[in-house]
Every structure is written in C-alpha cells, then in structure tokens.
Amino acid sequence: MLIVKKFGGTSVGDKERINRVADRCIADYKEGHDVVVVLSAMGKSTDELIAKAKDINPNPPKRELDMLVSVGEQISVSLMAMAMAAKEVAAVSLNAFQVAMHTTQAYTNARLTSIDADRIRAELEARKIVIVTGFQGVDKADNVTTLGRGGSDTTAVALAAALKADKCEIFTDVDGVYTADPRIVKNARKLDVISYDEMLELASLGAGVLHNRSVEMAKKYGVELVVRSSLNFNEGTVVKEDTKMEKMLVSGVACDKNVARIAVIGLQDQPGVAFKLFNHLANHNINVDVILQSIGRDGTKDISFTVAADAVDEALAVMENHRQTSLICEKIDVERNIAKVSVVGAGMTSNAGVAAKMFEALYDAGINIKMISTSEIKISVLIDAAFADGAMNAIHAKFIG
Ligand code: ASP
Ligand code: MG
C-alpha cells in the first residue's frame, strides 16, 4: 500500500513530537508499505517568520515573503529525516524544487499546476520513507511560492492524487471533524464520515481543520481522506463522496469571525452599478462573499457585501479611488466585527423547516441577524462578532443537541 501521511505544525512542534511522528511512520513502513510524509513548519514558526519579515518591512515583497516562510517546512522535513536516520530507517527529505512541484506565480497564494512524481517514486523504490515539504512550490521561473496559510493539506492531497496513493491521512491535534468547534461548543461530537461538499463548506466557513483547496482537490481526484489525531490512535473522520445512508439533516455548525461588512449607500439605481463595483474589487483579487441589494427608492439603491476582515482596508481604498467616476454614491459604511455563522448539511435542501429553526434559535438567544444567505447545503447568517459563540451554541443545541 502507498500511504501519504500529513502532519501539522503542532504535531511536529518539538523533539518528542517529531520522534513520535517518526515512530508512527516507521510502523507503517515496517509493515511493508510505501510511506510519503508531508510536514508543515514546526509549531508557530510560520507566524514567527512572517513577524520577522514585517519587522524589517511592514509591507514585504511577496516573493521574498515566500522565500522566507518556505524555510519553516524545510526545517521540519530535514529534522524528521534525521530522527528517522537515528532510528536506523532510510529516509530522505525533499523540498518542492526537488520534487518538482509546480505552481502558478501568485506568491503567498499559489495554485499547484503539476507534480512530477518520478523522484518520489524512485526514492520509494529504493525503500526510503520520503518526507516532503508541505505548503511550498516553484513557479515556472524557479521562484519559490507558497500555497496560502494552511496549504500543507493541499500538498498532501495533491501528492496522494499524483502518486495514486491508497490512503491519505491528515494528522492534526484534534480527533477529526466535529459538528462544531469543540473549544466553543461543549457538546460538539466527532463525525465518522462527512461528504466532500459538506467538508468544503465547513472548511471555507472557518472550521479550520482542513485547507479548503485540499478538499476541492480531494473531490476532484476522488482522494478519500482521513482526518485524525497525531496524539492518539482514534479512528478519525473519513471525508469522501456523499453517501446518502449516513446522511444527517445538519452535519455541522461553523463560524467565521474574520468578516467585515461594507455598505455602499445611495448608489444610482441603474444597470451596470453592481458590475462596476464588484469588477473593481475583482481586479484587485478581493473576494466578496454575501451580497445584499436593497430595493431601489427615489432613483437610488444600497448594496452591502462582506469581505474577509484583513481585506477590508484594501477594498475601501479601491472603492475610494473610483468615488468620483464609476462609483458615485452618498456614503460607504464599514462594520469590522462581524461573524458568519452557518449550518451545513447535505440533507437540508428538501427540508423546509431548517431556516426557520435556525432563526428561532437566534431569536431565543436574543441575537439580531444582519444578513442572511442560503445555498443548497448551507444557511448562513451574519451577526455581531461578540455574539458568535452564543449563536453557535444556540444553533448547535437546536439541531444536534
Ligand atoms: N506552515 C504553513 C502555515 O502555517 C502551512 C501549513 O501549516 O499548512 O500556514
Ligand atoms: Mg492546518
């Protein structure tokens, strides 16, 4: 069997943990399996490297930032190979350049374009454990790139797809995917299985267990994932194609506290206004999430929308640049402390009562809803971030107990 095992930063945070991970990989190897290990940077080292960069230049060139942070993963893979060597197991560490893991040139947020699996295959053939840097890549001009924060999961899934692995295990510091963040919701329970689509919603909604592009890729290439703890031998959660029999109405409650809302008041009520507004933002790669347009009155209308909190200043600056020309309006308001709380479940489409039940939970908790958005498998509300934890608990209690 070919097994890809990915370990996050906390799982390799110190010498003991590195040794524990090494033992776990060696156990599979000694059973005769081919083992590919993908690692993140140790502990908080990516944060520390970013802080170093910002200390010398508050606005560092993104190319250089990637050059710097990619070092974190190189430290963990080389130390892991040394730990295995100390246990007399043949192991080799490889970075993205050595693997030939190619990406686009979008520094700090690059996308994988191709992986050359030959080098890894040759090393496995020579009966070595292969330890690969997560998170990093190289563009076609050999610049170092990174896949965005949390991107090591995506590296692991991409390798599993490229190598046609039999198993792809994502080890983290929790037991699997929960119905809600157990640090916030005490009664949250671990799910045994979840579909790709539900996981995608939970990942992008801030459940924080998996990088959402890793789930997209797993779905696209049919890679079945297991999310499990590196601290114990519990079963974990399987992420795979939807299986109707196991379907629960609501599989989880997620929360994203990193949201800001912008309201553009008094726009002209005529064709092209929304296009121009969102086109300006798109041209700057600013992702817009929930959008709400008011009914027109007296020839004007309002449009409000949400962006990630760390993109709000850039969004405001972009809009300000066009206020005299294509974005004529009365005023632009911003609310920075917004949370998006969502219920996710593949079984909810055909069930009329889900939205009402969610709103009732919020009403009972005295929480005001600012915006609502729905899709086939989720219902989201935007609320004041101060009430986020209370809202999650109220909604979780109502649906899951
Ligand atoms: N080390 C990177 C980060 O902290 C990538 C990862 O952990 O997946 O974002
Ligand atoms: Mg992670």
Q: Which ligand is nearest to the CA of 42?
A: 1
Question: Do residues 303 and 355 both lie within one domain?
Answer: no
Q: Strand 300-308 and strand 252-268: pairing?
A: antiparallel
List the structure tokens of 96. 């993205």
43 close to ligand 1 (CB < 6 Angstrom): no
Return the bridge partners of 115, or none: 101
Contact assessment for residue 72 and residue 41, using Cβ atoms and an 8 Å cutoff: yes
Q: What span, in angstroms and rounded, lies between the C-alpha atoms of 379 and 67?
A: 40
Q: Which ligand is nearest to the CA of 147?
A: 1
Q: Strand 2-7 and strand 167-172: pairing?
A: parallel
Question: Do residues 83 and 35 both lie within one domain?
Answer: yes
77 located within any domain: yes
> Taking each helix axis from N to C terminus, what angle separates 353-364 and 388-399, rounded to the nearest 10 degrees?
130
Report CA Rg, the chain. Answer: 23
The environment of the single-atom ion ligand 2, i.e. residues with CB closer than 5 A, is 8, 150
Whose CA is closest to 284, among 256, 319, 259? Answer: 319
Query: What's 296's DSSP letter?
Result: P
Protein residue whose Cα sits closest to atom 4 of ligand 1: 46
Residue 26 Cα distances to 5, 39, 86, 272, angstroms: 11, 15, 12, 60
211 located within any domain: no
- So what's the pLDDT on residue 246? 52
List the structure tokens of 174. 């929790």
Question: Do residues 65 and 129 both lie within one domain?
Answer: yes
Phi/psi zone of residue 282: left (φ > 0), alpha (ψ -120 to 50 degrees), beta?
alpha
List the structure tokens of 242. 């939807």
CA of 325 to the centre of ligand 1 (A): 41
Query: What's 398's DSSP letter?
Result: H
239 located within any domain: no
Q: How far is CA 325 from the centre of its chain?
A: 37
CA of 44 to the centre of ligand 1 (A): 9
Question: Do residues 163 and 282 both lie within one domain?
Answer: no
CATH code: domain of residue 6: 3.40.1160.10
Based on the structure, what is the number of domains in the chain?
3
CA of 150 to the centre of ligand 1 (A): 4
List the structure tokens of 377. 């498998």
Question: Do residues 26 and 67 both lie within one domain?
Answer: yes
Question: Do residues 269 and 145 both lie within one domain?
Answer: no
Contact assessment for residue 7 and residue 39, using Cβ atoms and an 8 Å cutoff: yes
Protein residue whose Cα sits closest to atom 8 of ligand 1: 150
CA of 41 to the centre of ligand 1 (A): 6
CB atoms within 10 A of CB 15: 11
Whose CA is closest to 40, among 172, 168, 141, 161? Answer: 172
Q: Which ligand is nearest to the CA of 148?
A: 1
134 close to ligand 1 (CB < 6 Angstrom): yes
Question: Do residues 350 and 375 both lie within one domain?
Answer: yes
Give the list of residues 6+ apart from residue 347 with CB closer than 8 angstroms, or none. 247, 248, 249, 250
231 located within any domain: no
38 located within any domain: yes
CB atoms within 10 A of CB 374: 14
189 located within any domain: no
CA of 368 to the centre of ligand 2 (A): 32
Angle ∠(182,376,256) on CA atoms, nearest 5 = 35
Question: Do residues 309 and 384 both lie within one domain?
Answer: no
Question: Do residues 9 and 133 both lie within one domain?
Answer: yes
178 located within any domain: no
320: containing domain: 258-336
Question: Do residues 23 and 129 both lie within one domain?
Answer: yes
Protein residue whose Cα sits closest to atom 5 of ligand 1: 150
CATH code: domain of residue 306: 3.30.70.260
Average pLDDT along the chain, 401 residues, taken 10 residues at a time:
97 97 98 98 97 97 98 98 98 98 96 96 98 98 97 98 97 91 91 92 78 94 95 94 70 93 96 96 94 93 96 96 95 97 85 90 97 91 97 96 86
Q: Of 132, 154, 173, at which residue does a domain stop?
A: 173
Percent with pLDDT over 90 in the chain: 89
Q: What span, in angstroms and rounded, lies between the C-alpha atoms of 314 and 252?
A: 32
Q: pTM for the full model?
A: 0.85
CATH code: domain of residue 394: 3.30.2130.10
Question: Do residues 148 and 287 both lie within one domain?
Answer: no
Angle ∠(331,336,337) on CA atoms, nearest 5 = 140
List the structure tokens of 307. 């962006």
CA of 256 to the centre of ligand 1 (A): 19
Question: Do residues 359 and 392 both lie within one domain?
Answer: yes
Ligand 1: residue of 152, 173, 217 to mutate (most ligand atoms within 8 A of CB) is: 152
217 located within any domain: no
Q: What span, in angstroms and rounded, lies between the C-alpha atoms of 180 and 226?
A: 18
Q: Of 154, 173, 192, at which residue does a domain stop?
A: 173
72 close to ligand 1 (CB < 6 Angstrom): yes
Q: Of 144, 173, 202, at which residue does a domain stop?
A: 173
